[in-house]
Chain A
Amino acid sequence: MSGDHSGHGHDHGGGDGGHHDANIAARVRELEAQLVAAGQITEAELEAILLEGWSGSPAHGAAIVARAWADPGFRDRLLADGNAAAGELGLEAEGYLLKAVANTADVHNLIVCTLCSCYPTNLLGPSPGWYKSFAYRARAVREPRAVLAEFGVELPDSTQITVWDSTAEARYLVVPARPAGSDGLPEASLAALVTRNGLIGTAVV
């Protein structure tokens, strides 16, 4: 049921499922051709989306976090209104509520979407395979410490963990606690410290 070892030597985006359809690529091509032939979509429309690919990237989240670490006023604005703060950096965050949640010495935040794997893809790009897995979706809300331990994150017992389940239109960005020894670093160097997992809450940076 865990689907971790499908025996195919590679993993699809979700990683779940004991058997992957060997013909899926052909079925997708066929449906595409049928829909174009029926006039429901055009090749040009598909090409445009394929060429655009993923507009977001974890680098965008890292830039936001670096600015928040370097600039306390920005941090306050980010926590109050994530969409506007992203806009200050020229990053598009439209059509959803961007909510930044900050890790502190006392609080650690973890993001999940139990219903379907919602994720701020327009800002951060594609979500990791593990984020979309049944195991993560099922376990993050129930046993976050055990899940974090699988990522090598061990938090003190005194740290309060808050798990955010993206069930509506908010998309969450974790602002990791700024690492010790990073004082005085320029923003670009700070951004390089911020990992994608740090933005989801499965890493301490």
Chain B
Amino acid sequence: MARFTVGSEVRARLGDPDGHTRVPRYVRGHCGEIVGLHGDWKLPDAAVRGTLVTEPVYAVRFRAADLWGHGGHDVIVELWESYLEEAAGER
């Protein structure tokens, strides 16, 4: 059961986990908008510890101006659900 829907405003979690993760550093702490649901996939952070955890993966759109302070382009990043938290009205 996916927690977020297309259009949800979310923030990529801050923090530097000890092990393997697929949250690029450049989006951590930044807010974006869900633009797609990409299905359920096994979470790499758990897989490298030998644990099977499956979560929804979302396509999240970030504005370049938010990420870098300049630029008119968008960057769309796929993020597992546990990488995200709600951010309604914070952008």
Contacts and interface: CB of A to CB of B under 8 A. Distances in A.
Q: Within the complex, are A and B direct neighbours (CB within 8 Å)?
A: yes
Interface of A: 97, 99, 114-115, 141-145, 160-170
B23 to A, nearest CB: 8
A168 to B, nearest CB: 4
Contacts of B80: 168
B87 interface: no
Given A168-B38, A169-B38, A141 B22 contact: no
Contacts of B86: none
A170 B73 contact: no
Nearest to B39: A97
12 contacts: A115-B22, A142-B68, A161-B74, A162-B73, A162-B76, A163-B75, A165-B75, A165-B77, A165-B78, A168-B22, A168-B57, A168-B79
A69 to B, nearest CB: 23
Nearest to A161: B73
Contacts of A165: 24, 75-78
Contacts of B71: 142-143
A141 B70 CA distance: 12
A162 B68 CA distance: 15
Main secondary structure of the interface of A (DSSP, over half): mixed
Contacts of A141: 26, 67, 75
B78 A160 contact: no
A163 B73 contact: yes
A135 to B, nearest CB: 16
A168 B40 CA distance: 11
Contacts of B89: none
A168 B74 contact: no
For the complex of A and B, the 3 pairs showing the least CB-CB separation, nearest first, are: A168-B78, A161-B73, A169-B41
Contacts of A168: 22, 38, 41, 57, 78-80
Contacts of A144: 73
B72 interface: yes
Contacts of B78: 165-170
Contacts of A160: 72-74
A161 B41 CA distance: 28
B73 A167 contact: no
Interface in B45-79: 57, 59, 61, 64, 67-68, 71-79
A167 B24 contact: yes
